[in-house]
């Protein structure tokens, strides 16, 4: 080994300090007395003195001036002390982070969310969640139901907000709320002036839809509603999100059934109308792995989601219009 390499090796070896050595040094530096420092560390004085001598030999500088019973920090010792405090603090933070991650009070929480839950639910809940868990970094990714369920099962997501109508198998699903479908249509559509539109009147329309591979339950509810209204929808433009549906409608490519929370999108060129009969949408649910549902970070988020959802007014089915003496509806046809 060359002289240069040997010096580099020696310098590197001096960096291999243990936290125990650092704590020993800080105790002596603060007490400036080996006996009191040893009592503070619950150890005998001779091993502490030997440990400090080994530390000085290891880093190659004298840290203390010893004159009888008097102990003083050298200039190098004072500088070393200022660097030791951050080392110990960082070690404590690292240990706290590890314990917090196990307890669910710190770390990173990965949330997957269907787009409709981003309009009102998550913005309402997140401030309270951040206040409850300021040490948790929350990452949110927009996703679809099928992808979210797969990611929860594989552990790449910690929790997901999805649309579901069926059992989620081994996953824990917490129902949050049930939405209804409304109609999104181009602003210049022939029915745009109607405040409420009967679904059978939409039979000839071209439909913008969310494909079944993206959200099977959402797609099935849409198809079933059309069949119950007496027609099979003309499926023309597939979308992978509610925003994409509304955007394609704004382009004049068709109409769409979307969750009523989509009203918040307010895209130019798209308007929203209620439909009759009312069509309940599959429930919004929070899904986690069953063995993780009790973790504090997840439990707090679910409780906040439930509380906000419960505070919203319930969705009631609209009563059919009253009929006149001859059995005709008093409402003008859409």
pLDDT single digits (tens) 90-134: 777 676 666 666 655 557 888 999 887 887 788 889 999 999 888
Q: Is the pLDDT of residue 10 over 70?
A: no
Q: Is the pLDDT of residue 14 over 80?
A: no
**β-strand pairing of 70-73 with 234-239:** unpaired
The percent of residues in the chain predicted with pLDDT above 70, rounded, is 84
Across all residues in the chain, what is the average pLDDT? 83
Distance, in Å, from the CA atom of 168 to the CA atom of 290, rounded to the nearest integer, reads 11
pLDDT of residue 68: 76
Q: Is the pLDDT of residue 328 over 70?
A: no
pLDDT of residue 29: 93
Question: Under CATH, domain 107-177+283-311 is a member of which superfamily?
Answer: Periplasmic binding protein-like II (3.40.190.10)
Distance, in Å, from the CA atom of 192 to the CA atom of 169, rounded to the nearest integer, reads 42
E-strand spans in 199-298?
206-210, 234-239, 256-259, 270-276, 283-289
pLDDT-derived band at 275 (thresholds 50, 70, 90) equals very high
| Domain ranges across the chain | 3-102, 107-177+283-311, 181-276
Q: Is the pLDDT of residue 143 over 60?
A: yes
Helices 296-311 and 121-132 cross at an angle (nearest 10°) of 140
Condensed to tens digits (0 to 9), the pLDDT of residues 234-268 reads 999 999 888 899 999 999 999 999 988 888 888 88
Is the separation of the CB atoms in 275 and 199 below 8 Å?
Answer: yes
Q: How many CB atoms lie within 10 A of CB 28?
A: 27
Distance, in Å, from the CA atom of 15 to the CA atom of 329, rounded to the nearest integer, reads 87
Q: Is the pLDDT of residue 4 over 50?
A: no
Q: Between residues 165 and 57, which one has the greater pLDDT?
A: 57
Fold assignment, 3-102: Arc Repressor Mutant, subunit A (1.10.10)
The percent of residues in the chain predicted with pLDDT above 90, rounded, is 47
pLDDT of residue 136: 87
Domain 181-276: top CATH class: alpha beta
3 upstream amide cis, omega within 30 of 0: no
Distance, in Å, from the CA atom of 256 to the CA atom of 259, rounded to the nearest integer, reads 10
* Placement of tokens 């206040």 in the chain: 131
Q: Between residues 103 and 83, which one has the greater pLDDT?
A: 83
pLDDT of residue 291: 86
Is the separation of the CB atoms in 207 and 255 below 8 Å?
Answer: yes
Q: Is the pLDDT of residue 41 over 90?
A: yes
Residue 297 tokens, joined: 């970070």
Q: Among 304, 312, 311, which residue's Cα sits nearest to residue 161?
A: 304
User: What one-character DSSP code corresponds to residue 279?
Assistant: -
pLDDT-derived band at 67 (thresholds 50, 70, 90) equals confident
pLDDT of residue 332: 30
- Common-topology check for domains 3-102 and 107-177+283-311: no
pLDDT of residue 45: 92
């Amino acid at each position: 080994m060359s002289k240069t390499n040997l010096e580099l090796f020696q310098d590197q070896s001096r960096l291999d300090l243990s936290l125990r050595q650092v704590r020993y040094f800080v105790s002596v530096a603060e007490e400036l007395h080996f006996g009191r420092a040893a009592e503070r560390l619950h150890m005998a004085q001779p091993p502490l003195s030997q440990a400090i001598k080994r530390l000085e030999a290891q880093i190659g500088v004298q840290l203390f001036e010893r004159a009888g019973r008097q102990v003083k920090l050298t200039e190098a010792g004072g500088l070393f002390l200022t660097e030791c405090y951050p080392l110990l603090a960082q070690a404590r933070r690292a240990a706290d982070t590890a314990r917090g991650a196990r307890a669910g009070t710190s770390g990173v929480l990965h949330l997957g969310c269907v787009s409709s839950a981003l309009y009102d639910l998550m913005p309402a809940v997140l401030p309270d969640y951040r206040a409850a868990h300021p040490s948790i970094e929350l990452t949110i990714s927009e996703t679809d139901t099928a992808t979210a369920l797969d990611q929860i099962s594989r552990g790449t997501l910690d929790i997901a907000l999805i649309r579901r109508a069926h059992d989620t198998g081994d996953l824990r699903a917490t129902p949050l709320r049930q939405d209804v479908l409304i109609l999104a249509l181009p602003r210049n559509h022939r029915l745009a002036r109607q405040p409420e539109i009967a679904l059978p009147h939409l039979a000839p329309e071209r439909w913008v839809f969310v494909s079944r591979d993206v959200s099977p339950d959402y797609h099935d509810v849409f198809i079933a509603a059309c069949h119950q209204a007496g027609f099979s929808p003309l499926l023309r433009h597939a979308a992978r999100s509610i925003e994409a549906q509304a955007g394609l409608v704004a382009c004049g490519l068709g109409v769409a059934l979307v969750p009523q929370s989509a009203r918040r999108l307010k895209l130019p060129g798209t308007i929203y109308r209620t439909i009759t009969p009312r069509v309940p949408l599959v429930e919004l649910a929070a899904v986690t792995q069953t063995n993780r549902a009790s973790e504090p970070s997840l439990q707090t988020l679910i409780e906040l989601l439930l509380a906000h959802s419960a505070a919203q007014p319930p969705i009631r089915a609209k009563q059919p219009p009253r009929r006149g003496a001859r059995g005709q509806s008093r409402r003008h046809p859409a």
